[in-house]
Structure 1
Amino acid sequence: MDKKDVLDVLFEKVKYSNEQMDIIYSLEEAREEWHSASRFFQYVSEPDLVDYAIHREDAAKSKFMYYLSKARDKGIEVNWVYMIG
């Protein structure tokens, strides 16, 4: 069962509009990108890649915060227990 399947099961229990579901999927994707960028930064050792790693993590964090704000604006409560990872 992949992450999309898990989210689909959760959506069966709570009714969301299509727009809300899109935001939730985007939020989860952004969270995964942020986590991936953070791991990359932890393991990068090439000086030329350190700046890239920093920018990548900052961009991923900004994307996550954007979707988190959008979720709150649409009345979506984010329960961190259900954030997959």
Structure 2
Amino acid sequence: MNKKNDITKKNVSHHHIFKTFYLKVFKVADKKTEEAQLLCDIKSALREWKNAENIFQFVTSPDLIDHAIYRIEAAKLRYIHLIKLAKKMNMKGIL
């Protein structure tokens, strides 16, 4: 009976070690994936902002000018928001 308890304790111990290792590995992987996605979103937001500014240069209709200004401001705010998120996550090399 004592031998059976020893085996059960070892299994629980191995299970705990494996679970701890698994969670640490995937937590790091999830953080790297999250950072990579955020970096991709930041690059996309910057391209969107630049595209909106380029569109503004070529529109002539007052309605389209208003729309272009709206797009510039929206893209700028999205970019700023994403930069703040990256800073909050202590990401390096984003600027």
Count of residues in Structure 1 that have an aligned counterpart in Structure 2: 65
1:33-52 to 2 correspondence within 5 Å? 33-52=48-67
Question: How big is the alpha-carbon RMSD for the aligned residues of Structure 1 and Structure 2?
Answer: 1.4
Partner in structure 1 of residue 92 of structure 2: 77
Distance 1:17 1:79, change over 3 A: closer
Superposed CA deviations along residues 8-65 of structure 1, whole A, max 9, x for unmatched, are xxxxxxxx71111111000000000000001111111111111100101000000100
Partner of residue 28, structure 1: 43
User: What is residue 59 of structure 1 aligned with on the other side?
Assistant: 74
* Amino-acid identity (%): 29
1:79 Cα deviation after fit: 4.7
CA displacement at 1:76 relative to structure 2:
1.2
Q: Distance in 2 between matches of 1:43 and 1:78?
A: 34
Larger radius of gyration: 2
CA apart distance, 1:77 = 2.4
- Is the 2:38–2:82 contact (alpha carbons within 8 Å) kept by the matching residues of 1? yes
Q: After superposition, what is the alpha-carbon deviation per residue over 1:59-85, rounded to whole angstroms, capped at 9, x for unaligned?
A: 0000100111111111112454xxxxx
| Aligned partner letter, 1:31 | L
